[in-house]
Chain A
Amino acid sequence: MKCGVLFSGGKDSTYATYLVKKSKNNITCLITIVSENSESYMFHTPSILKVVKQAEAMRIPLIIQKTKGEKEKELKDLEKVIQKAKTEFGIDAVVTGTVESAYQASRIQKICDKLDLDCFNPLWQKNPEEYWNELLKNKFEIIITGVSAEGLNEKWLGQKINRKILNKLKQIEKKYKIHLSFEGGEAETFVLDCPLFYKKLKILKADKKFSKNNGIYNIIDIELINK
Chain B
Amino acid sequence: MMLLINICKKSLHYYEFIKPIEDILKKNTKFKTVHYKQITKKLIQNSEKIIISGTSLKDNEFLEHLDYFKWIKSFNKPLFAICGGMHILGLVFNGKLKKQQEIGLTEIIFEKEFLGLNGIIQVYELHNFYIELKQFDLFAKSKNCPQAIKHKCKPFYGVLFHPEVRTKNLIQNFVEL
Which chain A residues have a beta carbon within 8 Å of chain B's beta carbons? 1, 19-20, 23, 25, 102-103, 105-107, 109-110, 112-113, 116-127
User: A106's contact among B23, B56, B104, by CB below 8 Å, is which?
Assistant: B104
Interface size range of chain B in the complex: 20 to 34
B165 proximal to A (CB < 8 A): yes
Could you give 25 example pairs across A and B, Cβ below 8 Å?
A1-B10, A20-B12, A23-B11, A102-B124, A102-B165, A106-B103, A106-B104, A109-B103, A110-B103, A110-B104, A112-B58, A113-B57, A113-B128, A116-B58, A119-B58, A120-B10, A120-B15, A120-B16, A121-B15, A122-B12, A122-B15, A124-B15, A124-B165, A125-B164, A125-B165
Q: Which of B1-18 contact A (CB under 8 A)?
A: 10-13, 15-16
A120 to B13, CA, bound (A): 6
A127 to B165, CA, bound (A): 12
- A residues near B104, Cβ cutoff 8 Å: 102-103, 105-107, 109-110
- With both chains docked as a complex, state the minimum distance between the C-beta of A21 and any C-beta of chain B, in angstroms: 11
- B residues near A23, Cβ cutoff 8 Å: 11-12
B94 proximal to A (CB < 8 A): no
Taking each of A25, A116, A122, A123, which has the highest tally of chain B beta carbons within 10 Å of its own beta carbon? A122
- B residues near A117, Cβ cutoff 8 Å: 58
A121 to B126, CA, bound (A): 13
User: B58's contact among A107, A110, A118, by CB below 8 Å, is which?
Assistant: A118
Which chain B residues have a beta carbon within 8 Å of chain A's beta carbons? 10-13, 15-16, 19-20, 23, 56-59, 101, 103-105, 124, 126, 128, 164-166
A125 pairs with B101, CB closer than 8 A = no
User: B15's contact among A106, A123, A127, by CB below 8 Å, is which?
Assistant: A123
User: B16's contact among A106, A113, A116, A121, by CB below 8 Å, is which?
Assistant: A121
- The 8 tightest CB contacts between A and B, nearest first, are A106-B104, A125-B20, A122-B15, A124-B16, A23-B12, A106-B103, A121-B16, A102-B105
